[in-house]
Amino acid sequence: MKSKYPVNGKTSAVGVINKIIDLEGLRLSSEGMAVGYHEGKATFVPGLLPGEIGQVQIMEEKKNWQRGKLLRILKASEDRVNPPCSVYSVCGGCQLQHLNYEQTLVWKKQWVADALSRIGKIQLDSVTIHPTIGMDHPWRYRNKARLHCGEEGSLGYYQEKSKATVPFDDCLLISEGMNHWVREAEGFLSEEGKKSFPQLTSITFRENSQGEGMMILDSLPDVSLQDTDQQDTSLRDAQSFGAWAGLGKEDIGSESIEGTGSGISSVWGITHSGEPERIVGEGDFTENVLGAEFKISPLAFLQVNPTQTYKLYNTVLDWAELSKEKVVWDLYCGIGTITLALAAKAQKVWGIEENPYAVADARENAKRNKIENVEFIPGKVEDTFRQITDQPDIVVLDPPRAGAHKRVLERLLELKPDQIIYVSCDPGTLARDLGKLQSEGYRVVEVQPVDMFPWSVHVETVVLLQR
């Protein structure tokens, strides 16, 4: 019997076609796939939800697990919703639009707890894990989008588990203004732009809270973009505020679409050697975070969700027992967003950051905001932290997805700060590092998941450790 329920979830196939089974989803994996059991073997099915029964075609089979493709839903969950995105079934940007938003928050808390218990060997009965902090309106939250170049000037995210580009008419994760910039850029690329940038592979769009934008072109030749004699007419037009400079400013305004602001204020190119060069525009791209103004270079990191960043950083500030007698280390500090906020209540804050552009921004941002009790050190944290002579009372670290380097953890265990506040974007590496710290005398006290990336399987987590 054909199911009356549409398959509004992810469906992907890997491997060779095999048998067809009926499967009940029992839980949701951290990759967003339902997990059920068939003949004792764990079976992972994209698109199926816990509590649902689906007809599944086994597409990949291993000794202890198998992966299936959802053919139809035989019994639907009350938590299933219709994804509003027209390309959700193929785009790799979101994994959970077919699940009620409140349930995505429940599962993200569960994924964090599972990782801490399974990987970190942490006893959860002695840890307070708070409910995931969600958003009142979990749409159009991203201030940055990296889109890949497709055929005939199209731009889009990659298809899941593929390098195929998925163009879209309206991405619901970015503002209406940024969507307009994408359309304008596609129009330019489909006409003359691609001739000027034959090696262009992707474009990154950034937007601040004032609706002002920055555009970054990847993989440009290693010649000066300011040397117009080396470029053709189309690029010279762009450099003289032609097509690129007009993005978001023509035929559209803040009165007609909310958030379009003043359009793209600067366009940058990233050469093959990794150096950013300005093509058009002048002045700094800035954003306000926790009441301070921050300059942001093209290659500097900034959290992509301003609303949730406020909640994330305030959690850090609430947990940190700051006073004017305490020294704080901020490891992997980026452009100094949380560093400067910590400095307002501490004696001294040291920041370490590998990205040289972010370090330059951080130093400039301290001057902009007239904060003098901070110092920034450029370089890898594991190679430079011994340059700091002050004993830390509190250490805040926000490492990349791979987690903290083992030498960083070893140094923290030598120094024994009273508090460690760990901010992570990956529950697995977070749990690994917490397990190491716990085994050497630290206690995991509180855990706060934050939904920084609604509708995706990613979750940001803040953890408080004390001795």
* Catalytic residue positions, numbered: 425
- Which helix (H) or strand (E) is 74 found in, with range? strand 65-75
Instruction: State the alpha helices, DSSP H only, in 214-276.
Output: 233-239
441 φ/ψ angles, rounded to the nearest 5 degrees: 115, -10
176 φ/ψ angles, rounded to the nearest 5 degrees: -60, -35
The candidate with the shortest Cα–Cα distance to 84, out of 178, 202, 168, is: 168
CA 9 to chain centre: 22
Reduce the DSSP state of residue 104 to 3 states and report it.
helix
- Following CA atoms 121, 124, 128, 130 in sequence, which dihedral angle do they give, to the nearest 10 degrees? 90
d(CA 56, CA 34): 11
Whether 66 and 43 have beta carbons less than 8 Å apart is answered as yes
d(CA 177, CA 254): 9
Whether 286 and 296 have beta carbons less than 8 Å apart is answered as yes
Q: How far is CA 204 from CA 149, 215, 235, 274, 460, in A?
A: 11, 6, 18, 14, 22
Return the residue matching tokens 């397990």. 435
d(CA 103, CA 384): 42
| Tokens representing residue 79 in the block | 């938590």
